[in-house]
Amino acid sequence: MLIVMNANATQGDIDGVVRAVESLGFRPHVMPGATRTAIGVTGNQGAVDLSHFENLPGVGEAIRVTKPYKLITLDLRPERTIVDVGGAKIGDGSLAIIAGPCAVESRKQAFAVADVVQRSGAKFFRGGAFKPRTSPYAFAGLGEEGLKILAEIRDEFDLKIVSEALDETNVDLVEKYADMVQIGARNMQNITLLRRVGRSSLPVLLKRGMAATLEEWLLAAEYVMAEGNYQVVLCERGVRTFAQHTRNTLDLAAVPAVRRISHLPVIVDAAHGTGRSYMVTPLSRAGVAVGADGLMVEVHARPDEALSDGAQSLTLDEYEQMVKEVRAIHKVIA
């Protein structure tokens, strides 16, 4: 259920509705908007009797939600959500660039990339300390040591740190060192992990599962929000298809499709979305053109020596050039 307050409802009216929802054992999610506040109600198994709320002071209307989602929708929040990552914004109309190596391999390797990322004007640095690898024998990341390097980069370069958590214990560590927690494609439907980051104070970057429908992806975001964390950024990173010329098929139609339903920001990862470095710049340009709030991109000083995802990593020069090109496109469409 969704309770829409009148434009002139007072804080007291809102508090009254919150108490009424809680007294029934449900959870209220208060979403203030430009013209009115809406309150999403979760925790009810069946339909709730709307008459509990309709006559409370300040209530405009109580609406039964027939869609599978409650909190991610434009019905609840018609304005776009702006996600605050340690003071840097995603979804505010600027182009958010999250760049860095697939994995943090060493201090030297990560610092070399961070220097170029900072000079490009990007505000976000990515780097995996915990890597979900297909093979159990592949490099799986430096763990907490990698996060410590990322925290140094945050201090040295004033970049906001985005890093992946594979499990709940990882989340505790990422919270200690980073500014945003990434949930990877392989974990998009790891329900306990989604619930855990839903209770985190960090914003969440939620990648689309490689075989996830739009609805499944949005419901994963709904899991995070239902726990009270409304700071979620969606990341399209390609899905598995029969195509053999790419690692994944980057589904750029997901960007307008998300926009039509949700207030959450959505970004495009053309690195995992193609798996081929020569495609990353053209598809990043396309991602901006299609209206993404930002880009994620993998960068390495020596891609051929990278311990993971070298084939899709841009060199430092290629990255600098890509940023110039995507900024030019963003300027035109913004």
What residues line the site for ligand PEP (CB under 6 A)?
102, 128, 132, 184-186, 207, 237, 272
DSSP 256-270: HHHHHHB-S-EEEEH
Residue 102 sits in the site that holds Mn ion (CB under 5 A): yes
Q: Which does 160 bind (CB under 5 to 8 A by kind): ligand PEP, Mn ion, none?
A: none
Q: Which is nearer to Mn ion, 42 or 163 (CB)?
A: 163
Site for Mn ion in 51-90 (CB under 5 A): none
Segment interacting with Mn ion, rule: CB under 5 A, options 92-100, 102-110, 179-187, 251-259: 102-110
Q: How far apart are CB 211 and Mn ion at their closest, in Å?
A: 18
Q: Which is nearer to ligand PEP, 75 or 105 (CB)?
A: 105
Q: How far apart are CB 31 and ligand PEP at their closest, in Å?
A: 28
DSSP annotation of 27: E
- Measured between alpha carbons, how far is 100 from 97 in angstroms, rounded to an integer? 10
Q: Which is nearer to Mn ion, 111 or 139 (CB)?
A: 139
Segment interacting with Mn ion, rule: CB under 5 A, options 11-19, 77-85, 98-106, 278-286: 98-106
192 contacts: CB under 8 Å, gap ≥ 6: 168
Residue number with the smallest Cβ distance to ligand PEP: 184
Q: How far apart are CB 126 and Mn ion at their closest, in Å?
A: 9
49 contacts: CB under 8 Å, gap ≥ 6: none
The whole-angstrom distance between residue 259's C-alpha and the CA centroid of its chain comes to 14
Residue 162 sits in the site that holds Mn ion (CB under 5 A): no
Angle, CA of 163, 169 and 170, to the nearest 5°: 10
Residue 309 sits in the site that holds Mn ion (CB under 5 A): yes
115 contacts: CB under 8 Å, gap ≥ 6: 157
Beta bridge partners of 180: 162
Cβ atoms of residues 109 and 258 within 8 Å: no
Give the footprint of Mn ion on this chain (CB under 5 A).
102, 309
